[in-house]
Structure 1
């Protein structure tokens, strides 16, 4: 009989020790509810301290970690700056705590409470991400979006009818892009593209990531994939054309430019690009026609006016070289060639004047006009332009 009493006493002592530490968890929860977060944090730290022999029973208890998550979440929500200083990354610590609670809760007894807490955590990670993005803290925004995805991918948070959160996936890509973490940006953008999120724009952003990594091959491959999927997306064509032009692949650039014009014949910028490409190839007459078409569609197109003026200005300069190459003993021929140059300079003036009218502060157009007026001895206009340039300094 004495042995039985002794065994019961030992058992009671062990159970009491277990409840003592679980009581510490309950105490931490009560302190949290009463707003005493510093005391709550001390209590929960004691309950999970592996060096504390009394924590042997509370460490593997799922509720311990759920309460820990609630305390750190409350620290994040606190308006008291002294409380906020208690943790460096309270939301992430709360998430890790809830995940630990799920891991230990093999029977799922506390799953509903943890699920509610995780849902609340998503809201705060979202707020943190939005604020970080507006503060240009793109790394924190990325981490926040990734934590949201981590929560949403937990088995506890998923069901057969759950929709993929493409908005968060895309925003994670956007944050990564702005953080110049292009590998992660590509990863998330590609995932968004699999669900057709944001259409052609997502392919453009993937291509931009590759371009920033100096990977022209994958940049073009991505755009071609996007164009096959969204053949009406002229913006994809524009990026392809720009890459081909930058790489001096003029034949490919012209092919896609013609296709772009076919798709959107009222787009002045396509005709301007066509003009610039023809100008680069030395197809001057075709370039002039393309620029004129751009101006027909967009009468205030500064770049088209300027480039047309530059075409005639450059033709005048070349013709002047011809005149200067005439032997000095042939003054009549020199005058003839020089007059041809002046005719080209005269053609340049209306376009440069119009360019300057569209953008009165552009010094390049004014400098060109200054030289043209001086060349053609139009001194009144020369003085007028010279004064404008002085005023802009």
Structure 2
């Protein structure tokens, strides 16, 4: 989330309310309190102060939504999600872009550059005491509005609402990678798995070196028997990119072994009446465990304190009849269990 450096004073207000010293003094004091709180990272205190500035300006004829933007940002940084979501939504709906034009001139006597409102800037052009009249536009914050609101909505588990904002944002900024990534997460959160997988594949086509997206794709592929081999390939790609990716090793192991309790139940059910069929099931089971073994060993290597990794490896050694390793894993299992108490 983007943080702004708020170092501006309400110079324009001093001109706009030149005849209202009490209002101007209040603006300056509130502005100082807001920026002091922000710079001290007391965002919860800064947010209402920025809203107060906005309200004071609006009451005197200036609808400067920049201060609502600062308030929304402060609420977001303070983890006040509901308040931030409301402000960001209102800003987007209002068409706010954050583009501001600043007007400056140099005071010849002091040599200082001063900020002016447009009316005063135009007037001062006729004043021989000023020179170097310049204008400058601030960059648009509109992409940030969409990105931040999307993040806030996803964090609040409002995936469907996030998708509405993302689609609106992508209509304006079709190449925004952050919104594209958020869209994939929002599809997952809203339960739209087909679009989630499509989004992952689209992101991987653009960036095939993203280990996390390969892993997430593998997780989704592993849910369907027809794409189990594709899932294993995706997990292997994640490991290739990130050799210490413990979860990827774990999922290769579990995906390769499959639904072992179901297999064991089937073996037990057929052992008495159909011994040949049971033997084939046993051989196939042992083959799957042997195939999973190197990945289980790698999982244990990168995450040796994970009791699930140890227990799984022990069970694989049992099935593959490696008694010495079974003893070693039992000892490690006991050690980790004792340490957890």
TM-score, normalized by length of structure 1? 0.60
Contact 1:305 1:352 in 2 (8 A): yes
Give 1:121's aligned residue.
30
Partners in 1 of 2:305 and 2:81 — Cα distance?
A: 35
The partner residue of 1:341 within 270, 276, 285 is: 285
Partners in 2 of 1:262 and 1:190 — Cα distance?
A: 31
| Pair 1:356-2:300 in alignment | yes
User: Cα deviation per residue 1:157-207 (whole Å; 9 max; x = unaligned)?
Assistant: x69xx8945862442441574364355354466379842765655434323
List gaps (5 residues or longer) in structure 2: 1-12, 99-139
Give 2:131's aligned residue.
none
| Pair 1:144-2:87 in alignment | no
The partner residue of 2:76 within 174, 197, 203 is: 174
Q: 1:213 to 1:189 in 2, by over 3 A?
A: farther
In the TM superposition, residue 287 of structure 1 has moved relative to its aligned partner by 0.8
Structure having the larger proportion of residues in helix = 1
List gaps (5 residues or longer) in structure 1: 1-98
Q: Report the 3-state secondary structure (helix = DSSP H, G, I; strand = E; otherwise coil) of the residue aligned with 2:223.
A: helix
Contact 1:203 1:222 in 2 (8 A): yes
Contact 2:204 2:213 in 1 (8 A): yes
User: Cα deviation per residue 1:102-139 (whole Å; 9 max; x = unaligned)?
Assistant: 9xxxx9674357535532431222213454737xxx3x
Task: Report how many residues are paired.
Answer: 282
Partners in 1 of 2:50 and 2:77 — Cα distance?
A: 8
CA RMSD between the two structures: 3.6
1:300-379 alignment runs, 5 A limit: 300-314=244-258, 316-379=260-323
Contact 1:237 1:257 in 2 (8 A): no
| Pair 1:249-2:192 in alignment | yes
Structure having the larger proportion of residues in strand = 2
| Pair 1:203-2:112 in alignment | no
Q: 1:203 to 1:324 in 2, by over 3 A?
A: farther
User: Cα deviation per residue 1:308-366 (whole Å; 9 max; x = unaligned)?
Assistant: 11111225555444433324144343222201101101122221221222222222222
Moved more, 340-349 or 242-251: 242-251
Partners in 2 of 1:345 and 1:318 — Cα distance?
A: 15
In the TM superposition, residue 386 of structure 1 has moved relative to its aligned partner by 2.8
Contact 1:173 1:189 in 2 (8 A): no
| Pair 1:285-2:285 in alignment | no
Contact 2:221 2:231 in 1 (8 A): yes
TM-score, normalized by length of structure 2? 0.68
Partners in 2 of 1:208 and 1:154 — Cα distance?
A: 32
Partners in 1 of 2:94 and 2:329 — Cα distance?
A: 53
Quick check: which has more Rg, 1 or 2? 1
1:230-269 alignment runs, 5 A limit: 230-269=173-212
Query: Larger relative CO (CA 8 A, sep 6+): 1 or 2?
Result: 2
Q: 1:202 to 1:372 in 2, by over 3 A?
A: farther
The partner residue of 1:184 within 86, 106, 114 is: 86
Partners in 2 of 1:309 and 1:354 — Cα distance?
A: 10
Moved more, 108-117 or 252-261: 108-117
Give 1:224's aligned residue.
167
Give 1:386's aligned residue.
330
